[in-house]
Structure 1
Amino acid sequence: MRLRLAGAVLLAAASYYVYLPLPSGVSEPWKLMLLDALIRGFMRASDVAHALGVCHRLHLLNRVVSWVEEVEPRSCSAVHVSDSSLGGVPARVFRPKAGRRLKRGVIYFHGGGWALGSARMRAYDSLCRKMAEDLDSVVMSVDYRLAPEAVFPDQYHDALAAARAFLSAPVLERHGIDPERLCVSGDSAGGNLAAAVAQELSSDDALPVKFKVQALIYPVLQALDFHTPSYQQNRAVPILYRPVMARFWLQYLGGDASLEPLLLANNHSSLEPLLLANNHSSLDQPAIGAGACSKLNWTALLPAERTERFRPATRETGSSRAMAAVPALLDVRAAPLLAELGALAAAPRAYVMTCEFDVLRDDGLMYVRRLRDAGVPVTSDHYEDGFHGCMAFAFAPVWSSVGRKSADNYVRWLDQNL
């Protein structure tokens, strides 16, 4: 009887910990709840280890990821897989064993807040295998350096070095890649790196070979407004909570964790151009300027149906401390959404995937609008039942319908446009 009671209590406690009141439209919510519960458990354990001085929280999280997710480079009948390097940066290479002589080429940057994950993770290994086989393409998945040892612009420089090497004649010739059919792609923080690399290299007139397309999967593109409609709507929706995204940004840009409340309150910036113009000389005003504001003014860049229930978070006075301590908040290499129209106009044809239940949804949708305003052809692929990281659910053991659908549509777009 006591054992049954203890079991019932444990089951109730576990159910209480796992259960989250998710929006009704989320695809297969119990799978998301279970995965989120595991992630929350590991994050809390890492916070305890960090507080006790055992190790940095990111080191423990990456050890867990490595133990649970990383797989060896195993070839199969259709695809040869090997670990190599690209421009001095580690990369996993997927090459079809048959097919056309000259193949498509894809360079891919994984997500993880510039701090977690690797190209060796099972989900990325599976996705790149699928691309290599379904597209008859050579796929190079890059292992850029991670925080806390690496901070901006280290990750960006790794991505840029790998991309330049990928576009070089020796690499294209060695792997039999068609120089007219090249793609740069990535998800989340990797989508940020892919967008930044696409902007930089598309404007480099010295490059004889350039990317034909860019494919961005729920990309993170700015850190000036943590009160966009999607940040407000999805602040407590897993897997990417609003405070976690602010923490990732500070880790990436080398900012102190004490600045997190300023970012979350939009106290580091104001989205009211007139306010900035009138108070630009004040020491307690963030000096970002109306130009930067216009590039992420979601009241103008998003459709009315997405903004009507939300109001911008603006302040008459703000703290200049965050801007002074983390000037990279305004660096277009870190925040591609802030690019000038001229830089965007040179960028390649784009695919941008967004999910309804994702704090980063509006980053992607604003980028779609800005690319189109610059004259760039863009396919906006939005999933009303999707959530951040859902493409990882395209493969066992946690596959879901939105995961499979998003991965299939992403590969189908590449097949039709690359």
Structure 2
Amino acid sequence: MRSSCVLLTALVALAAYYIYIPLPEAMGDPWKLMLLDATFRGAQQVSNLIHYLGLSHHLLALNFIIISFGKKSAWSSAQVKVTDTEFDGVEVRVFEGSSKPNEPLKRSIVYLHGGGWALASPKISYYDELCTAMAEELNAVVVSIEYRLVPKVYFPEQIHDVARATKHFLQPEVLQKYSVDPDRIGISGDSAGGNLAAALGQQFSQDLNLRSKFKLQALIYPVLQALDFNTPSYQQNWNTPILPRHVMVKYWVDYFKGNYNFVQAMIVNNHTSLDVEGAVALRARLNWTFLLPPSITKNYKPVVHTAGNAKIVQELPQLLDARSAPLIADQEALQHLPKTYILTCEYDVLRDDGIMYAKRLENAGVQVTLDHFEDGFHGCMIFTRWPTNFSVGIRTRNSYIKWLDDNL
């Protein structure tokens, strides 16, 4: 009996050690967030073991775990009709809200889910519920695109998928089928989906052959650059749930089919040192000492090395491609973008990507709303249902949908 008590105490202590991480006081629901983070870390470690044993790629294993716990079949209710179909060979889930008697044509959002270009799906509960809420509350048609994921495809195939599906949707006969107003369509996405939405926004704004243009874009804690992993938010939140810095860098390397041997060098910005041809000029476009307010920059210094590892950019030239990093696009690519909403969270390595993009868009003459949440963490907007319900998740979702309602 005594040995059982000792063993139980040891297991509880071990579990507490694994779960507990120090969090800032401003973050709400700390133990719930620790449990969520520990669950995700545990799933990552299981998938890494599966990879090590040669049973499957770690991202395929991790995505299998994620989808297994949360996949929802298409369903319809009195308020929202949900259909799985294909647009030009790309799988999509379409959410059709109820029409208003005085509005025969509906608004529409093309939505791109997050997950590091490698995880998640429109069919998991978090995104199914988000898109259902958008369709119901906005009386809109929401098209959530099932773009292909790493490791089955790599950059820029994800962009090609979302572009192909979106162009199909924007055809007059397709918009007519779904009773969509061609002048009231927006593009939106969160995290890596925000990256794809920003890239698609830039591409479509310059496409003279498109008859229908986006009325707005709404980017939720978007990933926008891979040249500087030492912005103030990367330094401040280097080990904050749900997205520590080293995990974000690995997502970038995976997206480009790169080598994990580059990760540590990239974390300290050796891939964009002063001796790396082409990187210096582009880094000037994300000079956070000018693009971020003094309240953010005052306690941090830029990390720029005289000499670094030029081999990284030579092997991964995608790092310098504005399609992967919309923040480094030239001014001409920004000035034709539509009205923009950017949501950022204080406890997120990607916070400064969003704030810098908002500033660059303002400088280009684009109307921008920057919606910052002081107690927010990466991914919080999809966590609104028990047991992963967070106050900040509900508030971010409400704020996002309200902005869409007011502007679309």
**Is 1:123 equivalent to 2:126 in the alignment?**
yes
Which residue in the other structure is 2:218 paired with?
215
**Contact conserved, 2:117 with 2:255, CA < 8 A, in 1?**
yes
Deviations 1:274-332 (A, max 9, x none): xx4xxxxxxxx211254312211101100011001011111111111100000000101
**Is 1:319 equivalent to 2:309 in the alignment?**
yes
Please state how far the C-alpha of 1:7 moved relative to its aligned partner: 2.3
Please state how far the C-alpha of 1:119 moved relative to its aligned partner: 0.6
Q: How does 1:357-376 map to 2 (within 5 A)?
A: 357-376=347-366
What is the alpha-carbon distance in structure 2 between the residues aligned to residue 64 and residue 393 of structure 1?
A: 18
Which residue in the other structure is 1:281 paired with?
none
Which residue in the other structure is 2:277 paired with?
287
For 2:248, give the aligned amino acid: M
Q: How does 1:4-153 map to 2 (within 5 A)?
A: 4-99=5-100, 100-153=103-156
Please state how far the C-alpha of 1:171 moved relative to its aligned partner: 1.5
Which residue in the other structure is 2:379 paired with?
389
Q: Secondary structure at the match of 1:180?
A: strand
Moved over 6 A (4+): none
For 1:170, give the aligned amino acid: E
What is the alpha-carbon distance in structure 2 between the residues aligned to residue 289 and residue 186 of structure 1?
A: 27
What is the alpha-carbon distance in structure 2 between the residues aligned to residue 116 and residue 290 of structure 1?
A: 32
Which stretches in structure 2 are left out of the alignment for 5+ residues? Answer: none
What is the alpha-carbon distance in structure 2 between the residues aligned to residue 164 and residue 218 of structure 1?
A: 25
Please state how far the C-alpha of 1:14 moved relative to its aligned partner: 1.1
Aligned residues: 405
Q: How does 1:240-255 map to 2 (within 5 A)?
A: 240-255=243-258
Deviations 1:98-122 (A, max 9, x none): 4232000100000000001111111
**Is 1:411 equivalent to 2:397 in the alignment?**
no
Q: Secondary structure at the match of 1:268?
A: helix
What is the alpha-carbon distance in structure 1 between the residues aligned to residue 58 and residue 280 of structure 2?
A: 37
Q: How does 1:174-213 map to 2 (within 5 A)?
A: 174-213=177-216
What is the alpha-carbon distance in structure 2 between the residues aligned to residue 396 and residue 74 of structure 1?
A: 21
What is the alpha-carbon distance in structure 2 between the residues aligned to residue 134 and residue 346 of structure 1?
A: 29
**Contact conserved, 1:394 with 1:405, CA < 8 A, in 2?**
no
Q: Which stretch of the first structure deviates more once superposed, 127-136 or 164-173?
A: 164-173
Which among 314, 334, 344 is matched to residue 344 of structure 1?
A: 334
**Contact conserved, 1:242 with 1:359, CA < 8 A, in 2?**
yes
**Is 1:236 equivalent to 2:226 in the alignment?**
no
What is the alpha-carbon distance in structure 2 between the residues aligned to residue 334 and residue 259 of structure 1?
A: 18
TM-score, with structure 2 as normaliser? 0.97
Q: Secondary structure at the match of 2:111?
A: strand
Please state how far the C-alpha of 1:237 moved relative to its aligned partner: 0.2
Which stretches in structure 1 are left out of the alignment for 5+ residues? Answer: 271-275, 277-284
Please state how far the C-alpha of 1:162 moved relative to its aligned partner: 1.5
What is the alpha-carbon distance in structure 1 between the residues aligned to residue 25 and residue 259 of structure 2?
A: 37
What is the alpha-carbon distance in structure 1 between the residues aligned to residue 266 and residue 204 of structure 2?
A: 30
Q: Secondary structure at the match of 2:258?
A: coil
**Contact conserved, 1:237 with 1:357, CA < 8 A, in 2?**
yes
Q: Secondary structure at the match of 2:375?
A: strand
What is the alpha-carbon distance in structure 1 between the residues aligned to residue 386 and residue 88 of structure 2?
A: 32
For 2:34, give the aligned amino acid: M
For 2:118, give the aligned amino acid: A
Q: Secondary structure at the match of 1:38?
A: helix
Please state how far the C-alpha of 1:87 moved relative to its aligned partner: 2.7
**Is 1:332 equivalent to 2:333 in the alignment?**
no
Please state how far the C-alpha of 1:31 moved relative to its aligned partner: 1.1
What is the alpha-carbon distance in structure 2 between the residues aligned to residue 102 and residue 405 of structure 1?
A: 29
Which among 162, 165, 168 is matched to residue 162 of structure 1?
A: 165
For 2:184, give the aligned amino acid: R
Please state how far the C-alpha of 1:145 moved relative to its aligned partner: 0.5
Q: Percent identity?
A: 48
TM-score, with structure 1 as normaliser? 0.95
